[in-house]
Amino acid sequence: MSILIKNVLLDGKERNIYIEGNQIEAISEAGSTKEAEFVIEGKDKAAIPGLFNAHTHAAMTLLRGYADDMPLQEWLETKIWPVEARLTEDDVYWGTKLACLEMIKTGTTFFNDMYWHWGGSSRAVAETGIRAALSAVFIDGFNMEKSKEQINRNKALYEASKKLPARIIFALGPHAIYTVSEESLCWTRDFAEKHDLLVHIHLSETAEEVEGCIKRYGMRPVEFLDSIDFLSPRTIACHCVHMNRKETELLKKYDVKIVHNPTSNMKLAAGRRPYEELKEQGLYSNIALGTDGCASNNNLDMFEEMKIASLLHKAFSGDPTSMPAKEAFELATVNAAKMFRLNSGVIEEGKLADVVLLDLKKVELVPNHNLISNIVYSANGSCVDTVICDGKILMDGRRVEGEEEIKSKVSEVAYELVKGDERKD
């Protein structure tokens, strides 16, 4: 399949972008001619790389708005976990389809997911055409029988993943150090090393997690993972809020990747990690942005996440130059692409054809003094007109095939899932 995007704004100039198969084959001056199966008129549009959502729980779209404004532990124990215990693979399939739809509509072409019923998630991603790294939640509760079950399950899922499209990456998903035993973490370490797999884990998200680790192991979370040789360049550590300098130095030493989730961290009052400190320690290129799940955000719009990340660090540091727009944009594009070992994140010849077209006539993008500033500080997902992922057109003129059916079905599934909930308003 070939696609020609004509007369589109790219790096401040009008260009033609020619896509062959799943790669960007050529970028030329506007007006040059080349035949293609599909031609997209890019006049009054700007081309940017598809955005990356580096940490989420996609099917939690089912719980958007279901249990808000609650303390984290109460929120988990009384609302989220009881509902998740009732989830079926079909529920997860529809919740993930809605998440994929929302991400496509807001310009995200890749997401890193950890959730239950991996089969439902992988089926939804395969059908919608988006890219993803998918990991099944690995929780053993320090029970060795459950540990064996989880290990066997992940071995089977790894084999099953080989039949999926290449745009779906299998990853391991040990939930956190307070829900996974040391033995299981060591198995994860060894299996990941043997098969060169990414490892997706929540790390130092709350003060309670740190206190519990010190009580159980006599050391802080990052120190504990270091003590069992868990840390590596394949480790995708999410949140990383409550760390001291020694711990961040360990992350740097082992080239660990960090996913910052500013909206979720603020909503759940989990805390904040000083961004400039990580930059000073040489960790900038290892940082990406994620939304977390829709029960704690409550959307998957990476335009919003870039803005909130930048403003958060400006406000708390007192420095208006902290996380400038260019850096926030890179956290959602090129940094994340490197993190997930993908040849994308920028629009260049030879890169994967993951291209988003913005409608420059949208009021939020007028005037266009500086496109990156407009993207980070002014735009939102509704400014996205066209989405191409892996060389396939997933959205054209803000229309995605089957979106009305997805929204209708997900509403049915979500209401049935929480039916009988005795929550007091």
Angle at alpha carbon of residue 416, lines to 413 and 418, rounded to 5° = 110
Structure tokens at 230: 């868990």
* 8 Å CB contact between 241 and 270: yes
Domain span at residue 205?
51-339
Spatial contact of 381 and 107, defined as CB atoms under 8 Å apart: yes
Residue 27 is predicted with a pLDDT of 97
Largest CA distance in the chain: 67
In a domain, 240, yes or no: yes
The answer to whether position 152 is within a domain reads: yes
**Given pLDDT bands bounded at 50, 70 and 90, which one contains residue 419?**
confident
Band of residue 351 on the pLDDT scale cut at 50, 70, 90: very high
The SS3 assignment for 125 reads helix
Q: What is the CATH number of the domain that holds 141?
A: 3.20.20.140
Confidence band of 422 (pLDDT split at 50, 70, 90): very low
pLDDT over 50 (residue 425)? no
Q: Is residue 206 part of a domain?
A: yes
| Cα–Cα nearest to 258, from 200, 212, 213 | 200
Contact 313, 323 (CB under 8 A): yes
72 pLDDT exceeds 80? Answer: no
pLDDT at 423: 46
Determine the pLDDT at residue 262: 96
Question: Would you place residue 71 in the very low, low, confident or very high pLDDT band (cuts 50, 70, 90)?
Answer: confident
Q: What is the pLDDT of residues 86-120, one digit of tens each?
A: 999 999 999 999 999 999 999 999 999 999 999 99
Contact 345, 338 (CB under 8 A): yes
CA–CA distance, 35 with 280 (Å, rounded to integer): 49
Q: Report percent pLDDT > 90 for the chain.
A: 90
Q: Tell me the sheet residues that pair with 282.
A: none
The count of structural domains within the chain is 1
CA atoms within 13 A on the CB side of 15: 19
Judged against a pLDDT cut of 50, whether residue 221 lies above it is answered with yes
In a domain, 411, yes or no: no
pLDDT (0 to 100) of residue 420: 60
Q: Examine the pLDDT at 424 and tell me if it is beyond 60.
A: no
* Structural domain contains residue 419: no
Question: What is the pLDDT of the chain when averaged over all its residues?
Answer: 95
Say if 42 falls within a structural domain: no
pLDDT value of residue 315: 94
Helix (H) or strand (E) holding 174: strand 168-174
Q: What is the pLDDT of residue 134?
A: 98
What would the pLDDT profile of 353-397 be if each residue is shown by its tens digit? 999 999 999 999 999 999 999 999 999 999 999 999 999 999 999
- Whether pLDDT at 288 is above 60: yes
The predicted model gives 229-247 an average pLDDT of 97
| Radius of gyration in angstroms for the set of CA atoms belonging to the chain, rounded to a whole number | 21
- Smallest CA-to-CA distance from 380 within 311, 305, 324 is with 305
- Asked if residue 191 belongs to a domain, the reply is yes
Give bridge partners of residue 173 from the DSSP assignment.
137
Confirm whether 393 is domain-assigned. Answer: no
